[in-house]
Amino acid sequence: MILPPATLGMLGGGQLGRFFVAAAHEMGYRVWVLDPDPHSPAALIADRHLLAAYEDYAALDELAQGCAAITTEFENVPADTLDYLNKFTIVRPAAAAVSVCQNRIAEKNFLRDHGLPHADFSAVHREQDLQEASDQLFPGILKVARFGYDGKGQAVVSSRAQALAAFQQFKGETCVLEQKLELDYEVSVVLARDEAGLVKSFPTAENSHRKGVLDVSLVPARASAELRAQAAELAARIADGLGYIGTLAVEFFVVRGQLLINEMAPRPHNSGHYTLDACISSQYEQQLRALCGLPLGEARAHSAAAMVNLLGDLWYESSPTGHRYREPDWSKLYAFPTLKLHLYGKHHARPGRKMGHFTVVDADPERTRELAMAARAAIGIFDAV
């Protein structure tokens, strides 16, 4: 076991890293953050900020020498960086697992090879691949294989011609063409797996999105107990297949009552924010426990929860001269006594940027949802969920 007051390393300085730093500090650890952004939210509260690129080997050497173990808060840290650091210190999750999640083609092939349910797909390396793709994949969604997130790098295509045009817009970048599905709804499972293979899953969340970005997560998901259990079982199979150590998130589509795996994230997840306020242990504490070889904490929820994302759009209001920047009136949220507000300390708000979230907790799931929707409207988010 790696025990406090050891120093841990974090690759990436966003809000997920910030929550990890906070959890580590509460448990007595120090944390160094490596991130190229001078204003990174995690670095603002870290014990040390290495302001460097993820391929800066001098900075990586310093991180490895100073840290007993290193983890990451987002999947696009180069796998080569993780491999390099692993020569000198503990790195979890491993580069091999992260590399599968970094590339949609590798991810889909992993699901297929392990007999896990997923939508039909085809890898697209060149225009000819689209010309030869099955008619069953149209209408479909063309997604870049790497670095796409929150709806970015995706295009809905109803025909082969539209797919070819979208592929050209993506400048011929390798893509995946997936069959477009009529969804009942979406769910996700966040779990932790330790080095002995023990898995602890948090309750399955039901998710809704706006403009490709997670908007609301409800826990427990409004699904049958059987479906929630099946989602947890499938997520655990993925973690086992990857030999994963750490916190992992798996997103699912529910189509005609059946689960299909959409994608996985080798890190804590936006839809797991609720664990901070509604569970015995948070997803960030579990990430730390798995990293340090500690026994995993209890993942059980003690309350129902509804989490609402706060995007940068809230910081702007319409005026006759355009859009005026202003801080939202947080008193409207603090008026709800069972609401927990989390702001990420980001340097500047811009439309679509995740700036914070709030979680409402209550014993009754339906009351939790109703309170969260009322708070959501009070702060200025009015469209229906």
Positions at the binding site: 104, 143, 148-154, 178-181, 186, 209, 262-263
Q: Which of 61-70, 147-156, 196-205 is predicted with the least confidence, judged by mean pLDDT?
A: 147-156
Positions at the binding site for ATP: 104, 143, 148-154, 178-181, 186, 209, 262-263
Residues counted in the chain: 385
Tell me the C-alpha distance between 224 and 230, whole Å: 10
Q: What average pLDDT does the structure give for the chain?
A: 95
pLDDT at 204 > cutoff 80: yes
pLDDT at 148 > cutoff 70: no
Tell me the C-alpha distance between 199 and 182, whole Å: 31
Render pLDDT for 82-121 as a digit per residue (tens, 0 to 9). 999 999 999 999 999 999 999 999 999 999 999 999 999 9
pLDDT at 141 > cutoff 90: yes
Render pLDDT for 332-371 as a digit per residue (tens, 0 to 9). 999 999 999 999 999 899 989 999 999 999 999 999 999 9
pLDDT at 149: 63
Tell me the mean pLDDT in the region 373-380.
96
Of the pLDDT bands very low, low, confident and very high (cuts 50, 70, 90), residue 150 is low
pLDDT at 147: 74
Q: What are phi and psi of 204, to 5 degrees?
A: -65, 135
Tell me the mean pLDDT in the region 54-64.
97
pLDDT at 137 > cutoff 70: yes
Tell me the mean pLDDT in the region 51-79.
96
pLDDT at 153: 84
Of the pLDDT bands very low, low, confident and very high (cuts 50, 70, 90), residue 29 is very high
pLDDT at 325: 86
pLDDT at 317 > cutoff 90: no
Of the pLDDT bands very low, low, confident and very high (cuts 50, 70, 90), residue 172 is confident
Which residue in 177, 125, 170, 181 sits closest to 147, CA to CA?
Answer: 170
Q: Where in the chain is the domain with CATH 3.40.50.20?
A: 7-91
> What percent of the chain has pLDDT above 90?
90
pLDDT at 318 > cutoff 80: no
Tell me the mean pLDDT in the region 41-60.
97
What is the secondary structure of 233-264 as a DSSP string? HHHHHHHHHHT--EEEEEEEEEETTEEEEEEE
Spatial contact of 297 and 202, defined as CB atoms under 8 Å apart: no
- For the entire predicted model, the pTM comes to 0.94
pLDDT at 320 > cutoff 80: no
CATH number for 185-378 (one of 3.30.950.10, 3.30.470.20, 3.20.20.140, 1.20.140.10): it is: 3.30.470.20
pLDDT at 170: 92
Domain 120-179, CATH 1.10.10.10 — does that match?
A: no
Spatial contact of 60 and 39, defined as CB atoms under 8 Å apart: no
pLDDT at 384 > cutoff 90: no
pLDDT at 151 > cutoff 80: no
Q: Where in the chain is the domain with CATH 3.30.1490.20?
A: 120-179
Which residue in 348, 299, 330, 282 sits closest to 21, CA to CA?
Answer: 282
pLDDT at 284 > cutoff 90: yes
Q: Where in the chain is the domain with CATH 3.30.470.20?
A: 185-378
pLDDT at 321: 64
Of the pLDDT bands very low, low, confident and very high (cuts 50, 70, 90), residue 15 is very high
CATH number for 7-91 (one of 3.40.190.10, 3.40.50.20, 3.90.480.20, 3.75.10.10): it is: 3.40.50.20
pLDDT at 385 > cutoff 90: no
Tell me the mean pLDDT in the region 150-159.
83
* Three state DSSP letters for 310-343: EEHHHHEEEECCEEEECCCCCHHHHCCCCEEEEE
User: DSSP letter at 116?
Assistant: -
